[in-house]
Amino acid sequence: MPKNPNIKPVELKLRPVETKTEIDERGAFQRQPNHFTTPFGDGENDLKAEAGRYRLFWARGCHWSNRASIVRELLGLEDVISVNQVGHSADEKRKYGWDFAYDEDGRDPETGAEFLAEFYYRADPDYTGRTTVPALVDLNTYTVANNDYHRLTNYFETAFKPFQKSDAPELYPEELRSQIDDLNDNVLFPYVNNGVYRMMFAQSITAYNEAFKDFFTTLDYFENLLETNRFLFGDYVTDSDVRFFVTLARFDTHYYRNLGPIKRSISEYKNIWAYARDLYEIPAFQNNTYFHDIARGWDTKKEKLFVDFNSRFADDIDFHAIWSQPQDRKYLSKTPDQKFLIRK
């Protein structure tokens, strides 16, 4: 039951399956659009940034939501936007989507919710899509205010600026916004972030090969760019670097298991691999990257004759040590010891 007695319970629906509801006639994966996309801004109907009003729900394995948790910490919004993680319980709960698997009683301690879906159906009883993260929930109404992973970090960077810590980095500087948006929307999203899912969910070899080509051609482009650029836009970390990192962190760790023969692992790209480790040095990236959860094995009981690699060995791998191997990227920058643009 909701902790607020004025909030009514809702009826849950079964979670749709991507490979049944988001595949086109060519066998290609077409990701569902975000449903709650009202922007934060100054318009009459826009959402308003307020301290303490919103709660961010995200999942350790989900890179769409991982980037929101990283940006929240980078900007020092921990006391402004509360947070909790969702997961999947190993029982009948899974059929309703994300639940509060990490909480002792299986309920979010702030709202009393048992499933993320409760916030979705309370906001729109007719909602029929998957209930996804990140979900920014309004604590006044226990409804999803925004689940637009395309723009949520940008709202943290702009609308929530008055609440950021005094030395918060400029992840979305005005002079670069059009270029950042272009890279995010037209390269990183279709070919990298969603590119891995286009491969993993493809139901035809033609669709798979198209996604495969898009992904690895784009990695080749970034490998060349990062030969001379410390970060995607030069000397400083931007919103785009967060978006690239969360996919890189998952490829060799998890995604590879759902693909056929791959062109190269991330660790085989000299510049990209060093760049990823340069980002991982930053505490907010480390604190919000749960490698052992990302690499979770499929067969925890290990009773089958053939058990996947991660089920057998992931718990024994020191991912932190691997990702903390030294790299010498800082000398590509005019400000070697400063990774962020800080404007006082």
Residues 224-281: tens digit of each pLDDT: 999 999 999 999 999 999 999 999 999 999 999 889 999 999 999 999 999 999 999 9
Percent of the chain with pLDDT over 70: 99
Position 343 scores a pLDDT of: 81
Asked if pLDDT for residue 169 goes beyond 80, the answer is yes
Position 60 scores a pLDDT of: 97
Backbone angles phi, psi at 86, to 5 degrees: -110, 160
Position 92 scores a pLDDT of: 80
Asked if pLDDT for residue 39 goes beyond 90, the answer is yes
Position 326 scores a pLDDT of: 98
Domains and CATH numbers, the chain: 18-163 (3.40.30.10), 174-332 (1.20.1050.10)
Asked whether 298 and 308 are in contact (CB, 8 A), the reply is: yes
Asked if pLDDT for residue 149 goes beyond 70, the answer is yes
> What whole-number distance in Å separates Cα of residue 292 and Cα of residue 281?
18
Asked if pLDDT for residue 104 goes beyond 80, the answer is yes
Q: How confident is the model at residue 325 (pLDDT cuts 50, 70, 90)?
A: very high
Residue 155 is a catalytic residue: no
Beta strands at 135-138 and 82-86: parallel, antiparallel or unpaired: unpaired
pLDDT single digits (tens) 287-312: 999 999 999 877 777 778 788 889 89
Position 142 scores a pLDDT of: 97
Asked if pLDDT for residue 344 goes beyond 70, the answer is no
Catalytic residue among 54, 62, 121, 172: 62
Q: Helix/strand/coil (H, E, C) string of 240-262?
A: HHHHHHHHHHHHCCCHHHHCCCC
Position 298 scores a pLDDT of: 74
Asked if pLDDT for residue 114 goes beyond 70, the answer is yes
As a whole number, mean pLDDT of residues 212-227 equals 98
Residue 121 is a catalytic residue: no
Position 234 scores a pLDDT of: 98
Q: How confident is the model at residue 127 (pLDDT cuts 50, 70, 90)?
A: very high
pLDDT single digits (tens) 54-99: 999 999 999 999 999 999 999 999 999 999 999 999 778 889 999 9
Q: Maximum CA pair distance of the chain?
A: 61
Average pLDDT value for the chain: 95
Catalytic residue among 142, 155, 191, 197: 197
Asked if pLDDT for residue 171 goes beyond 90, the answer is yes
